[in-house]
Amino acid sequence: MLAKRIIPCLDIDRGRVVKGVKFEDIQDAGDPVEVARKYDYQGADELVFLDITASHEDRPTLFHTVEQVAREIYIPLTVGGGVRSCADVRALLSAGADKVSINTAAVERPELVTEAGSRYGVQCIVVAIDAKRVNKKKEPLRWEVFTHGGRRATGLDAIEWAAKMVKYGAGELLVTSMDRDGTKAGYDNELLKAISDAVSVPLIASGGVGTLEHLYQGFSVGCADAVLAASIFHQGTHTVGEAKAYLENKGIRVRR
């Protein structure tokens, strides 16, 4: 049977891995090839690169980084950040990305997802959704989609948006809770479960992991198909192997 996936996420700025809390206090955390190789060795099932380079002029640096990593690492690589057009998708795929994640541009023009999916295959189009709780206390739960790295509200309901994106041809969804991102308080499992129930494509949980138990809850409560984590791996709190041993012990099927 299919294994649940563990995916370390690397923030990339001008060709270097960086770490910081919510885009602030950013520190250099190494060479992407070295970091990718380390996670590959630890048994990561996939890798996600999120390009946070501010200037679009630095785009060739990202392509170079993707090329270098793809030359050495033979597990699937998803690249996101600043993807605006089919040409951007193609450029990343030809640099060696296996999947491309689209966020803000999908909100601005949902047809981009359809076009990219029909041209390059829906399996390589990941739609990233940044969602935030907006209901008042005692109201039913409700989440809104945010874009531009979480700075801009869209008015879109996150569950409806997820279902729409799948209809438009998203092959996979990467759902980040903005309430939890950087808090180490665990995923927003209610958000994940609501989206998982609404769509038929695989769901990657993101935002808030602080412990291995959080990864487990992402699967058992949030019904995610894959869990994304950054700081628990980058800070050396846990290896991917430790995460898998923990999950396996709890009855989650992982690749060992």
Choose the binding region for other proteins from 22-30, 104-112, 122-130, 207-215 (rule: CB under 8 A). 122-130
Site for other proteins in 131-170 (CB under 8 A): none
CB of 67 to other proteins, least distance (A): 8
**Residues tagged active-site:** 11, 130
Residue 177 in contact with residue 208, Cβ under 8 Å? yes
- Choice from 51, 172, 181, 188 touching other proteins (CB under 8 A): 172
- Residue 184 has a CB neighbour count (10 Å cut-off) of 14
88 binds other proteins (CB under 8 A): no
Short-list 74, 72, 55, CA closest to 15: 55
CB of 12 to other proteins, least distance (A): 18
Residue count at the site for other proteins (CB under 8 A)? 37
Give 214-240 as a 3 state SS string. HHHHHHHCCCCCEEEECHHHHCCCCCH
Residue 174 in contact with residue 127, Cβ under 8 Å? yes
Q: Which is nearer to other proteins, 50 or 95 (CB)?
A: 95
Residue 208 in contact with residue 180, Cβ under 8 Å? yes
Give the DSSP letter string of 75-112.
S-EEEESS--SHHHHHHHHHHT-SEEEE-HHHHH-THH
111 binds other proteins (CB under 8 A): no
Kindly state the tokens that stand for 17: 């891995």
Could you give the CA distance from residue 94 to residue 29 in angstroms, rounded to a whole number? 26
Site for other proteins in 57-76 (CB under 8 A): 67, 70-71, 74-76
CB of 46 to other proteins, least distance (A): 8
171 binds other proteins (CB under 8 A): yes
Q: What residues line the site for other proteins (CB under 8 A)? A: 1-5, 40, 45, 67, 70-71, 74-76, 93-98, 118-124, 171-172, 196, 200-203, 223, 225-226, 255
